[in-house]
């Protein structure tokens, strides 16, 4: 009976957005935001110097520090919170040797394991292992099908070819697949050619384009002509591409941000998820690495999660009109949750997204929408 009471007292979340070794990646994307993070102290304020103090074998195996720490931190998280979706990323998560064993261990505890990857390590054995778990989804980052479009991510044609082969392998294996694309001056004007290429997977993939963020965007933001081309060739042709694109309101709000330079839609993301790190840090927003709720390695996890929704930062993050500079430029695949809670898309629209059409996840979304609507009603 005591166990049941404890289970009921756990914080119920839509996501645990878990980041493992964010400092290690086999890619060096030009627009990577890791260098701008103020969430953790960096030696001499230099990210490259900071990563040198975290050298350890990237192995999830008994006897290795990474496995011991990751298991301990996630167990502490799960002692105080219970999420429908475990979203796992890095750095590059799939470069950790035997990370599939971690996925296998956690698969029974979550409705979905969502793996965020650059796609380089989606080899046939890896895809077979992911498929065997039965509840894994892949979210692959890819800005285009050519070097011209994807050039801020890769500099080598062989790597580009490998990414496309691995994406094809993953989709054809029947693993639910999303593609996230950062829109920049390099790809936005001809992004429709990438969509034309992806139409071969109509009904098997969902693509989420979103704008470049952070300080780096100053040198990568597209000009008005390029944005107009995207609106003309993508948004205005949504009916043609709807079999591979996120819901139309997602594209409409994206285009408003691109054209006007700021987002207008209210954010509810911090009310339904947190971002956790393998060193124990818990952040209230998975998109803004600016503040912590606490560290489950240093503080009772129940105390850490008791701060969720109560800390003053939640008022700032969830203002009716985004005010923080970071929030005003932020737009990601998570915004389908905001579209749903704000009433821009309905149950049928959200159910079209495979990640959200499972029973527990869908119920969490409905509960979150009802709770947030009550809050908004009291605001007048």
Supply the pLDDT for residue 2. 37
User: Whole-angstrom Cα distance, residue 286 to residue 267?
Assistant: 12
Supply the pLDDT for residue 355. 96
User: Whole-angstrom Cα distance, residue 282 to residue 87?
Assistant: 14
| Average pLDDT, integer, range 284-292 | 87
Sign of CA dihedral 371, 18, 32, 298: positive
Supply the pLDDT for residue 215. 82
pLDDT tens for each residue of 145-197: 999 999 999 999 999 999 999 999 999 999 999 999 999 999 999 999 999 99
Say which residue, 326 or 65, is predicted with more confidence.
Answer: 65
pTM for this entry: 0.92
Range 2-270+311-378: architecture per CATH: Alpha-Beta Barrel (3.20)
Lowest mean pLDDT among 4-8, 119-123, 163-167: 4-8
Angle (CA) 295-289-114 rounded to 5° is 85
Supply the pLDDT for residue 54. 59
User: Whole-angstrom Cα distance, residue 107 to residue 122?
Assistant: 19
The two three-digit tokens of residue 127, written as one number: 């895809």
Backbone angle region of 280, left / alpha / beta, with phi > 0 → left and psi within -120 to 50 → alpha? left
DSSP for 179-199 reads: EEEEE-TTTSTTHHHHHHHHG
Cβ neighbour number for residue 219 with a 10 Å cutoff: 11
| Average pLDDT, integer, range 327-356 | 96
Supply the pLDDT for residue 55. 73
| Average pLDDT, integer, range 192-203 | 98
pLDDT tens for each residue of 17-57: 999 999 899 999 999 876 555 555 544 444 443 343 457 99
User: Whole-angstrom Cα distance, residue 182 to residue 180?
Assistant: 7
Lowest mean pLDDT among 92-96, 253-257, 285-289: 285-289
With beta carbons less than 8 A apart as the criterion, state whether 20 and 56 touch: no
Contacts of 7 (CB under 8 A, 6+ apart): 82
Domain ranges of the chain: 2-270+311-378
Distances (CA, A) of 44 to 32, 47, 49, 50, 268: 19, 8, 7, 8, 34
Say which residue, 290 or 361, is predicted with more confidence.
Answer: 361
User: Whole-angstrom Cα distance, residue 267 to residue 254?
Assistant: 14
User: Whole-angstrom Cα distance, residue 367 to residue 137?
Assistant: 23
User: Whole-angstrom Cα distance, residue 282 to residue 18?
Assistant: 9
Residue 7 pLDDT > 60: no
Supply the pLDDT for residue 51. 42
């Amino acid at each position: 009976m005591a166990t049941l009471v404890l289970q009921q007292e756990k914080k119920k979340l839509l996501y645990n957005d878990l980041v493992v070794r964010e400092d290690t990646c086999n890619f060096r994307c030009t627009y990577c935001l890791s260098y701008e993070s103020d969430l953790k102290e960096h030696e001499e304020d230099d990210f490259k110097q900071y990563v040198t103090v975290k050298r350890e074998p990237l192995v999830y195996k008994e006897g290795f520090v990474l496995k011991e720490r990751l298991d301990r931190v996630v167990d502490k998280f799960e002692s105080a919170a219970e999420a429908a979706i475990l979203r796992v990323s890095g750095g590059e998560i799939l470069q950790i040797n035997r990370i599939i064993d971690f996925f296998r261990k956690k698969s029974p505890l979550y409705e979905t394991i969502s793996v965020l990857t650059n796609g380089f390590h989606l080899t046939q054995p890896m895809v077979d292992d992911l498929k065997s778990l039965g509840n894994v989804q892949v979210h692959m980052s890819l800005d285009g099908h050519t070097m011209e479009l994807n050039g801020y991510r890769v500099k080598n044609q062989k790597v580009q070819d490998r990414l496309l082969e691995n994406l094809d392998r993953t989709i054809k294996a029947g693993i639910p697949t999303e593609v996230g694309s950062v829109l920049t001056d390099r790809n936005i004007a001809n992004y429709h050619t990438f969509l034309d290429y992806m139409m071969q997977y109509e009904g098997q993939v969902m693509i989420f384009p979103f704008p470049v963020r952070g300080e780096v965007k100053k040198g990568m933001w597209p000009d008005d002509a390029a944005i107009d081309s995207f609106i003309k060739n993508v948004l205005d042709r949504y009916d043609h591409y709807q079999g591979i694109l996120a819901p139309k309101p997602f594209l409409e709000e994206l285009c408003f941000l691109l054209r006007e330079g700021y987002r207008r839609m209210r954010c509810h993301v911090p009310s339904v998820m947190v971002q956790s790190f393998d060193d124990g840090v818990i952040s209230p927003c998975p998109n803004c690495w600016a503040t912590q709720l606490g560290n489950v390695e240093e503080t009772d996890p129940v105390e850490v999660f008791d701060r969720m929704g109560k800390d003053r930062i939640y008022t700032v993050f969830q203002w009716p009109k985004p005010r923080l500079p970071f929030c005003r430029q932020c737009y990601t695949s998570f915004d389908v949750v905001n579209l749903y809670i704000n009433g821009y898309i309905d149950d049928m629209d959200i159910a079209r997204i495979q990640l959200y059409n499972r029973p527990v996840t869908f119920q969490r979304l409905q509960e979150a929408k009802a709770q947030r609507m009550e809050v908004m009603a009291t605001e007048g």
